[in-house]
Structure formats: C-alpha cells, structure tokens
C-alpha cells in the first residue's frame, strides 16, 4: 500500500491510498487542479482513480468532487446523509448520480485488494464517518473532524501501521483568537475538533510495535502551527508513556503540498 496526504488542513483535505492496481482518495476538499497535480507527483493519473470516499459534506472535504466527477467520472462513496448534502450543494448538477454509491458505517467496501471500513464519528455534519483501509496485512487509520473519541473509535484505529489523526487547534490560541464566541464553543464541543492535547492522548492509546508513521492532520490555519502541534503531541507522548524517544515517525501533514509518500 502507498499513502500520501495531498492536502490537510482547515482549508482543504485530500488523502491518497493505493497499490499497484487500485487507487482511492479519502475526501477531495481542494481544487481539481491541486488533486490532479498531487496525484501526478506520485505517479498516478486521475483517470486511474477508482473512487473518492467522503468523510462528510463540509466544503473542505468535498469542494473538488464536482469537477472530479464531471472530468473523470470518478465514483463517490459516502453515507446517505453525506450524499444527500452533496447533491443539495451541487447546484449545477455536475455530479452524475450513477457515480454515487451509499455506504454504511462498519460495513466494508472492497476496491480490489483495498478493504475500506467507514466508522461513525462525532462531528456537526449530516452523517460523518472516519475510515480505515487495509491491504495485504497492512492498515491505515484516519480520524479527523471529530470532537471527541471513545473506545469505539480506538477499536477501529487499533493496529494501524500508519495513522492520520486530527490535531486541529491549540486551546489557548483558540480561546484568545478572533473567532466569534459561538464558533469557539462549536470547535471545543463534542461535535467540533480535537485539540493538540487530545490528539496526543489519542495517539498514546494507539501506539503499538507495528506503528510506523503518525501524521498530525487537519490543523487550523488560525489556531495552530505545525511546530506547536508537533511539540505538544511529542510532549504528551513523553509524559504519558514515559519515553524520551518516539519509536515511530511523527510528522505534520502539509497544508499546501503533498506530504511524503509512504510505502508499506
């Protein structure tokens, strides 16, 4: 399996996962051009895409879907609530209805050898899900845009070789920032986003001997910095696990360019 975060942040998200025969995206919240450029940078043509799996209908996760569907006929998989919201936002009718496929939480979808499993998350969207992808005994776990995590989330992410976890905001920056009070409350709520500290605690629950890479994802442009997120999570790991060196590669997924391509 190969994994690359093409874009990750509050302004747009798109993750590539594939193998020699099949290629999928988790979300397409950036422009068609950026998606195509990102795919071509790792040797994948957009026509090779088998599917886009959508986490939820917010614009930073679906803004590129219309053009990808129109230009390349890419199949779109999402929950019923997300599909309804996507269609409502598609004012020009660019998404072909025959390219839309409904999926259900905890029911796997197979794309060649790629096993894609959606699972519920807590966020202020119609019917949001996170995903794991497995192939040849390897597993990628992704969890962003969730206001809180529980044992259900942990159970789904457990055993991942690669993790992409939300570290959306620094709480102090958010509280002191310019956002309106209702928006601050939404972000901090159980239907909002995980802070750096929460990401670190979640990661500590998921560390195991096979874990090779952990990417901090979906950082807020206004309420976080990559260096701050990295240090906060690293310190959380040191404190909770009692270690002075991290036994896996910890990195921050880039906002404006593809992150490093991981091969398992």
**What pLDDT is recorded for position 95?**
87
Residue 61 falls inside a structural domain: yes
Mean pLDDT by 10 residues, the chain (264 residues): 97 96 97 97 97 97 94 96 93 87 98 98 96 97 96 98 98 97 96 97 96 97 97 93 88 95 96
Residue 74 maps to a domain: yes
Whether 262 is covered by a domain: the verdict is: no
Residue 189 lies in a domain: yes
CATH number at residue 162: 3.60.15.10
Domain membership of residue 16 as a residue range:
2-256
Positive or negative: CA dihedral 133, 101, 78, 40: positive
Per the structure, the count of domains in the chain is 1
Q: Look at residue 198 and tell me if it is in a domain.
A: yes
Q: Do the domain assignments include residue 263?
A: no
Report if residue 50 sits inside a domain. Answer: yes
pLDDT number for residue 97: 87
Domain assignment of residue 34, yes or no: yes
In whole angstroms, what is the distance from residue 169 CA to residue 107 CA? 31
């Amino acid at each position: 399996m190969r994994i690359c975060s093409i874009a990750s942040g509050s302004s747009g998200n798109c993750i590539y996962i594939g193998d020699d025969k099949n290629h999928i995206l988790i979300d397409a919240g950036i422009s068609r051009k950026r998606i195509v450029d990102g795919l071509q940078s790792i040797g994948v043509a957009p026509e090779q895409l088998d599917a886009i799996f959508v986490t939820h209908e917010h614009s930073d996760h679906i803004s590129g879907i219309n053009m990808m569907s129109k230009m390349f006929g890419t199949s779109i998989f999402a929950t019923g609530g997300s599909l309804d919201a996507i269609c409502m936002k598609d004012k020009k009718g660019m998404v072909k209805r025959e390219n839309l496929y409904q999926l259900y939480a905890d029911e796997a979808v197979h794309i060649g050898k790629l096993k894609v499993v959606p699972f519920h998350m807590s966020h202020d969207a119609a019917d949001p899900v996170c995903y794991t992808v497995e192939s040849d005994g390897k597993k990628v776990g992704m969890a962003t845009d969730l206001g809180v995590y529980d044992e259900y989330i942990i159970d789904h992410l457990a055993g991942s070789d690669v993790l992409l976890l939300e570290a959306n905001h620094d709480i102090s920056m958010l509280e002191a920032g310019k956002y309106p009070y209702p928006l601050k409350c939404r972000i901090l709520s159980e239907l909002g986003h995980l802070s750096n500290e929460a990401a670190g605690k979640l990661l500590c629950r998921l560390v195991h001997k096979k874990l090779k890479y952990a990417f901090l994802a979906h950082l807020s442009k206004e309420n976080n910095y990559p260096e701050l997120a990295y240090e906060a999570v690293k310190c959380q790991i040191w404190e909770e696990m009692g270690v002075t060196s991290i036994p896996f590669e910890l990195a921050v997924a880039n906002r404006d360019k593809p992150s490093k391509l991981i091969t398992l």
